Amino acid sequence: MHGRWGFQYGDQAILNVAPGMIGTKRLKETRYSVDELKAELLLIKAISKEFISIREKWQI
């Protein structure tokens, strides 16, 4: 979730523009509603907690 962020007031959408794959589409735009972005952040937090738990269990 890196790149440039903005808010489109008319659509009430949060925009993220990030580098895409090499080719004709150099930038990738993703639109989120506030609820969609909250859901993404909750998912990231859950994945982070799981990763930390696994890392603590299987230390190198």
| C-alpha to C-alpha distances, 17 to 1, 26, 47, nearest whole angstrom | 9, 10, 23
Q: Which residue has the higher pLDDT, 4 or 25?
A: 4
Higher pLDDT, 60 or 40: 40
pLDDT at 1: 59
What is the phi/psi pair of residue 49, to 5°? Answer: -65, -40
Phi and psi torsions of 34, nearest 5°: -60, -45
pLDDT at 58 over 70: yes
pLDDT, residue 14, reads 95
Residue 24 has pLDDT above 70, yes or no: no
With vertex at residue 31, the alpha carbon angle to CA 45 and CA 50, rounded to the nearest 5 degrees, is 15
Q: Strand pairing partners for 25?
A: none
